């Protein structure tokens, strides 16, 4: 069992991919010509929803979005596109990117093409969202129900039900959860052992999966947690506790790896036992580990800090302030991390490429 090092007086609040929790829904509309993607999760798949929630955890400011179309800071925690922007482009053969559900300017076409319910800072553990003032999964699910109601009013209930039935729900979770637990931001560490907390997160996964099924979900693609100990901010925070050098925090990555085994076993059990429901597991831990250990194989030069500012512990507004003082890296494609938590557009592209074979196998299974 993973054992966390003893941390004290650490004030670190992080939201990362990995997916730290993300849900994506990919569906084939009734006309059979488009692909719709609907997202639940955290900052790794939040295209700007937090811009409309009042939380401080938002980044609609330079240098975020510097490589997004028209160089717009949309609220994405990156310099450009996210995994959930590459996915609809690949599946539909277009350059479409996903929009936030709370965007007041959404049209019916936008709703039909897919929206994101994700909120930076959320996790399986509802305490994670509370720290950042983010929307927890219950609130995200409530917005999904409102989304369905809007669609039913526009295209009628039967067409909406068909769209949801054909959807593929993709879930990636637990970065914020393990972060907050490791740095004792929620008090869970006093209440639960690492093993018990992993079981708690698994029960939360089961509950949310059941809630999605109750809303009509038939197909679920689950993405595991990343090696959290490799995040630049984690390494910096650990070094500040008396270590002379920044280095990966293996205990935190190990806790995520153990949870992934539990999650994959649960996915396999559900796939074998449930009828009229398909569920697959997608690995994110392995690809990220390989990238940070063998960056040259992927064309990366820097994997231990972000491109924005100093890249050591800044993200969000702190990244913007640091960039204003220190600038940003000259070659963003050489960096895997954009800020001290989130990947660059090229980093996200590599992660989507790593997931693509499993996504293709899943869609092939569904169409057999």
What pLDDT shows up at residue 357? 93
Report yes or no: 74 and 102 within 8 Å, Cβ to Cβ: no
Nearest 5°: the CA angle 201, 293, 300 is 110
Report yes or no: 226 and 179 within 8 Å, Cβ to Cβ: no
Alpha-carbon separation of residue 328 from 67, 143, 306 (angstroms) = 12, 36, 9
Question: Cα-atom radius of gyration of the chain, to the nearest Å?
Answer: 19
Hey, what are 122's tokens? 């959320």
Phi/psi class of residue 20: alpha, beta or left (left: φ > 0; alpha: ψ in -120 to 50)? left
User: What is residue 37's three-state secondary structure?
Assistant: strand
Report yes or no: 152 and 83 within 8 Å, Cβ to Cβ: no
Q: Which residues are catalytic?
A: 43, 339, 342
What pLDDT shows up at residue 49? 75
What pLDDT shows up at residue 251? 94
Q: What is the DSSP string of 283-308?
A: --HHHHHHHHHSGGGGT-SEEEEESB
Cα gap 204→269, rounded to integer Å: 16
User: What is residue 174's three-state secondary structure?
Assistant: coil
Omega prior to 63 cis, within 30 of 0 = yes
Single pTM value for the model: 0.90
What pLDDT shows up at residue 25? 52
Rounded to the nearest 5°, which phi and psi values hold at 74?
-85, -15
Alpha-carbon separation of residue 234 from 1, 175, 294, 314, 341 (angstroms) = 20, 11, 20, 11, 8
What pLDDT shows up at residue 138? 96
Taking only the tens of pLDDT, the chain with its 368 residues reads 676 654 433 333 333 333 334 545 555 444 333 567 888 888 888 999 766 776 665 688 999 999 999 999 999 999 999 998 998 888 788 888 989 999 999 999 888 888 889 888 899 999 999 988 899 999 999 999 999 999 999 999 999 998 888 878 878 778 899 999 998 999 999 999 999 999 999 999 999 999 999 998 888 888 889 999 999 999 999 898 876 689 999 999 999 999 999 999 999 999 999 999 989 998 999 999 999 999 999 999 999 999 999 999 999 999 999 999 999 999 999 999 999 999 999 999 999 999 999 888 887 888 77
Hey, what are 199's tokens? 């079981």
- Residue 47: partners with Cβ closer than 8 Å, 6 or more residues away: 39, 74, 75, 76, 82, 84, 85, 97, 98, 99, 100, 116, 118
Residue 50 DSSP code:
G
Start-to-end CA span in the chain (Å): 40
Report yes or no: 162 and 78 within 8 Å, Cβ to Cβ: no
Alpha-carbon separation of residue 244 from 43, 229, 249, 259, 305 (angstroms) = 30, 17, 14, 30, 16
- Residue 365: partners with Cβ closer than 8 Å, 6 or more residues away: 278, 280
- List, in sequence order, the alpha helices (H) in the chain: 83-92, 108-113, 126-132, 137-155, 157-165, 175-182, 188-191, 194-214, 232-239, 250-273, 285-293, 317-326, 345-366
What pLDDT shows up at residue 361? 87
Cα gap 360→233, rounded to integer Å: 33
């Amino acid at each position: 069992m993973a054992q966390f090092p003893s941390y004290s007086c650490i004030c670190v609040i992080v939201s990362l991919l990995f997916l730290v929790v993300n849900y994506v829904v990919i569906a084939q509309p009734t006309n059979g010509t488009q692909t719709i993607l609907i997202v639940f999760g955290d900052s790794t798949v939040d295209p700007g929803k937090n811009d409309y929630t009042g939380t401080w955890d938002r980044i609609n400011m330079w240098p975020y979005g510097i490589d997004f179309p028209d160089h717009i800071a949309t609220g994405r925690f990156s310099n450009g596109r996210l995994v959930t922007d590459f996915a609809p482009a690949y599946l539909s053969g277009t350059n479409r990117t996903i929009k936030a559900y709370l965007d007041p300017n959404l049209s019916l076409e936008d709703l039909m093409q897919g929206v994101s319910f994700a909120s930076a800072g959320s996790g399986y553990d509802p305490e994670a969202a509370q720290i950042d003032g983010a929307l927890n999964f219950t609130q995200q699910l409530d917005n999904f129900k409102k989304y369905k109601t809007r669609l039913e009013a526009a295209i009628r209930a039967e067409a909406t039900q068909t769209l949801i039935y054909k959807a593929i729900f993709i879930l990636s979770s637990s970065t914020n959860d393990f972060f907050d637990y490791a740095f004792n931001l929620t008090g869970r560490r006093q209440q639960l052992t690492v093993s018990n907390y992993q079981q708690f997160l698994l029960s939360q996964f089961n509950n949310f999966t059941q809630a999605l099924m109750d809303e009509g979900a038939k197909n679920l693609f689950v993405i595991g947690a990343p090696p959290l100990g490799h995040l630049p901010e984690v390494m910096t925070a650990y070094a500040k506790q008396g270590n002379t050098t920044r280095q990966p925090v293996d205990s935190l990555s190990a806790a995520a790896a153990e949870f992934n085994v539990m999650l994959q076993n649960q996915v396999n059990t559900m796939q074998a036992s449930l009828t009229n429901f398909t569920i697959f597991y997608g690995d994110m831990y392995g690809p990220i580990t390989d990238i940070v250990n063998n960056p040259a194989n992927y064309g990366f030069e820097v994997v231990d800090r972000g491109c924005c500012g100093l890249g050591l512990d800044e993200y969000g507004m702190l990244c913007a302030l640091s960039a204003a003082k220190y600038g940003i890296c000259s070659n963003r494609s050489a960096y895997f991390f954009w800020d001290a938590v989130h990947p660059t557009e090229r980093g996200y592209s590599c992660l989507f490429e790593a997931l693509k074979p499993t996504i293709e196998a899943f869609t092939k299974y569904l169409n057999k």
